[in-house]
Amino acid sequence: MPPPPDPEDGASRAERKERTRRAILDAALALAADSNLAAISLRQVAKQVGVVPTAFYRHFGSLELLGLALVDESFRSLRLMLLDVWRHAPEYRDFIDGSLPIVAQHVRENRSHYAFIARERTAGPPRVREAIRHEIELITRELATDIARSGAARQYSSADIALLADLIVSFVVTMAERLVEDPDSEERTLAQARTQLRMLLVGAVNWRSREPAEER
């Protein structure tokens, strides 16, 4: 009897390449789960996937470039979802109540990515740390833009809007890291983050910038 046909035989070259790339990304996430990217080797990743080390280089030039791909993958969909929430948020409370469940869901569905980000944010290779910082800055700037567009911050200068956005995003980043560390306490973590942010905004709604609003 001839052997059964290999399902890979019917796949296009591009499909096989994408599957191998996906397997390399997943293997790196799994290997770095108990340490960080700097502690694993290219050979370990290749062995986990079942390819020769030279096959790794057909997809990523180095482990650092693989880490950059994971950072991009981790943040891309989150940014799009948050932007959609913020652009339909007429008041400060809507920025909070809309954002927190989105982040919690994203962490739940992509826990290994968020665990990777939490570790590499402080202990990763320099370019990976810089990429994570850049992604968080992009989210902060996008939030600042949407706060200004909403009309909820007419009394703020541009600098103060940026500071407020930075505070909100910092709270959300901390919440995401707590959700990674203790997924069983998601409800409590969300409730605490919501209360903390509302306490922050009690002061924000009464804040008046020294710089006139029309100078923004």
pLDDT in tens, 4-51: 444 455 568 888 889 999 999 999 999 888 788 888 888 999 999 998
Token pair, residue 191, equals: 């409730």
pLDDT of residue 84: 81
pLDDT of residue 216: 44
Q: How confident is the model at residue 92 (pLDDT cuts 50, 70, 90)?
A: low
Give the whole-angstrom CA distance, residue 166 versus residue 160: 10
Q: How confident is the model at residue 202 (pLDDT cuts 50, 70, 90)?
A: confident
Give the whole-angstrom CA distance, residue 185 versus residue 183: 5
Apex 102 CA angle, 126 and 133, nearest 5:
15
Residue 98 scores a pLDDT above 50 = yes
Average pLDDT over every residue of 133-139: 95
Characterize 7-24 residue by residue with b for buried, 16 or more Cβ atoms within 10 angstroms of its Cβ, and e for exposed: eeeeeeeeeeeeebbebb
pLDDT of residue 9: 52
- Report the chain's mean pLDDT, rounded to a whole number: 85
Give the whole-angstrom CA distance, residue 42 versus residue 123: 18
* Overall pTM > 0.85: no
Identity of the residue numbered 195: T
Q: How confident is the model at residue 127 (pLDDT cuts 50, 70, 90)?
A: very high
Nearest to 204 by CA among 169, 170, 156, 171: 156
pLDDT of residue 4: 45
Residue 151 scores a pLDDT above 80 = no
Average pLDDT over every residue of 57-74: 91
Render pLDDT for 167-193 as a digit per residue (tens, 0 to 9).
989 998 999 999 999 999 999 999 999
100, 193 Cβ separation under 8 angstroms:
yes
